[in-house]
Each structure stands twice: as C-alpha cells, then as structure tokens.
Amino acid sequence: MLATDDDVQTRATPATPPLSTPLRLQRISPALGVEVSGIDLREPLSDAQVKDLRSALVAHKVLVFRDQDITPAQHVAFASRFGELEIHPVFPRHADHPELVLLGGNAQKAASENVYHTDVSWRELPSMSSILRCEVCPDVGGDTIWVNMELAYERLPEHRKAQIQELFAVHDIMPAFGRRMNPEERDAARKQFPPVSHPVVRTHPESGNKILYVNAAFVTHLENFTACNPVRGAFESHSEKNDLLEYLYRQAAYPEYQMRLRWAPNTIAMWDNRSTQHYAVQDYFPAVRRMMRATVIGDKPF
C-alpha cells in the first residue's frame, strides 16, 4: 500500500521524545520548526536542557527562541554546549569572539546569501548545527526559509532514490567564497579546503533517517555518475549528469517542505545543518539586517 502524504510527513518529522525540563514547543509549519519557550539563554544550560534541546533539534530541525537578549559571550557559551565551534575562514568575525561570524550588508551594499544551501558543506567535517542571533532587522522583509531535506528525500520517486543511492557529490568552497578573496587568499584556501566528496544521500547520525544532501551553493558536480549510470557517450553523460543535479537542487524549493521565519531583534534560530537547507530572503535592501552566527562542527557524512 502506498504511503499517504500524512504518513510520509509523520516519518520525516517525528514527535519529540518526552522532555525532562519545562520546555514548551510550538510547531511553526507542518514540515519542520518549533518555537521554544520556557528557557532563558542568558543562564548556563543544564545537562537535561542540552539533552532536551538536542532531541527537539533532531526531531524538528529548527528551534526558534524569541526575546533572548544575550551577549556575544553567552551566545558562544550556549553554542559550545552542543560541540566544538568552527572559525570561519572568510566571513568577518567578532573582535572578541572569533567563533561568531558577522552577517549582513549595509545601506550601500546588499547581502548575497540568497541561495538554498547547507552551511559549510565544503568541509571534510561539515556543520552539525548553526545558531543565528538577530541584532538588527528591517520592519518588513529579511525572512529566512528552512527546508526539511529528510522530507525532500522521502518524497522522491522510488526510481530517483535508486538512481542516487550510491552517488557522491563534490562540495567546494570556491563557487560561493572565491570572489571574496584575492589571488593569494584563494591559493591558501584551496590548499586548506580542497574539494570534498559527500554522499548524495547521507544518513543522519542520530535519527538514522536518510537525507538529500546536495545544495546549489557548494556542490559543483556528481563525482561518480557515469560509474553508477550507463550512458551512450560523453555528451549524454554530461547532459544527464547536469540534468539530475539540477533536479536535485530544485527539491529544496518546494514550499511543502519549508518553514519561514519572521525575524525580530533578539530572536535566535538554531538549526540542524545535516537535515536542512536554508535561504536568506534578500527583499529588504537598502534596509539593514545584521546577524551573528556560531557554527557547531559536525562529523563526516555517511
């Protein structure tokens, strides 16, 4: 018997395991996301709170905390409870806390993060989670969209799942960040961060769920398409490989897999980079939006 959409969605976004702390979770969309209340992020987290938040993160993929007026030091302390934090090699960083990147343009220059992506998938060990705090946002516009890539994989036709099951994609820092560097910086970045291959279908290390793990910002090509798919020649191989990759990119654009967040100052979003993509909507220029982000190092995709 075929699964209904409701059946698929239930598997992709399971209920949170019972919580041991007085957290309250309010769903944001059917696909993913909860607003979390009953916690003050200015205070150190207990082990029980960390466990409950991590369970909620795996289940719902995006956690939103409102009215959290925390300092940069408290931001770092909160993020560090979930793992080691990365130092981003390109984005500007906080002067006292290099774990925090500073995001946003100004009234003269628009920001440019408007592409569906997974943070730092070009690393050998991509991010487990990102924690983004809003400092300044426009009166209207500047929302962020997140996508449930477990659900995107689950709803692929079975023949597509079979086609991509053994494929690897090459992720590269240069398409998105090369233009921000001078030639010497590009040479140094290429040595430190060579292109890496990750499975097109990765397995979540905590839930065991399958995830469609390609994104348009950092994936340049499918590494072993020809080895896994019989083709008649080089021309058809190139065409079919590109068509498949574009098809996989487009899965992130389905509204049915998404949630959308309206920012306000002191709103914090924490998301699971293993199972989501996101898109910063650039509809507010020349108004200004400023954010700080900490990123938790993850593990090697498998």
Active site residues: 117, 119, 278, 293
CA-atom Rg of the chain in angstroms: 19
How many residues does the structure list for the chain? 302
Angle in degrees, CA 40, 44, 46, rounded to 5:
95
- List Cα–Cα distances, 238 to 72, 142, 235, 282, in angstroms: 47, 37, 5, 33
Scanning 88-233, the segments in alpha helix (DSSP H) are: 149-154, 158-164, 174-177, 183-192, 225-228
In one-letter notation, the amino acid at residue 48 is: A
Residue 120 burial by CB count (10 A; 0-12/13-18/19+): exposed, middle or buried? Answer: buried
Angle in degrees, CA 50, 104, 114, rounded to 5:
90
